[in-house]
Amino acid sequence: EAGVAQSPRYKIIEKRQSVAFWCNPISGHATLYWYQQILGQGPKLLIQFQNNGVVDDSQLPKDRFSAERLKGVDSTLKIQPAKLEDSAVYLCASARVGGYEQYFGPGTRLTVT
């Protein structure tokens, strides 16, 4: 089966600009996660969806970050406006309903200058 797809793989923007990342989960996986991985740290959950509903967005900086999962399939994460500290790898993962294993995409490396 095809894995989790993410695009773009790399993005360089200036601070205060906006950026969007796209994720397509494994077919049939109802649960989708966005994680932020800052260099030298482990991934940190930003938001979790089940189908098109939000399960957990407690660590999402809502003043600048937004995410949606229309139709319960692919998802978009947006940052507007970006700050220098947003430089990180943004990982998307998916899982079956009730499943314990999360499958990760290759990530999008964002550099904010």
Partner 1 sequence: AQSVTQLDSQVPVFEEAPVELRCNYSSSVSVYLFWYVQYPNQGLQLLLKYLSGSTLVKGINGFEAEFNKSQTSFHLRKPSVHISDTAEYFCAVSEGQGAQKLVFGQGTRLTINP
**Contact residues: partner 1, CB under 8 A:** 4, 31, 33, 40-45, 48, 50, 56, 91, 93, 95-102, 104-107
Least gap, CB of 19 to partner 1 (angstroms): 19
Least gap, CB of 53 to partner 1 (angstroms): 13
Minimal CA–CA distance to 11: which of 21, 1, 3? 21
Q: Give the phi and the psi of residue 71 in degrees, each rounded to 5.
A: 65, 10
Count of all residues that appear for the chain in the document = 113
Q: Which is nearer to partner 1, 102 or 111 (CB)?
A: 102
Least gap, CB of 73 to partner 1 (angstroms): 16
Minimal CA–CA distance to 19: which of 86, 100, 106, 68? 86
> If you write DSSP's letter for every residue of 50-101 in order, what string do you get?
ETTEEEE-TTS-TTTEEEE-GGGS-EEEEESS--GGG-EEEEEEEE-TT---
Q: Which is nearer to partner 1, 9 or 15 (CB)?
A: 9
Q: Which is nearer to partner 1, 78 or 96 (CB)?
A: 96
Least gap, CB of 111 to partner 1 (angstroms): 14
Q: Which is nearer to partner 1, 20 or 103 (CB)?
A: 103
Amino acid at 99: G
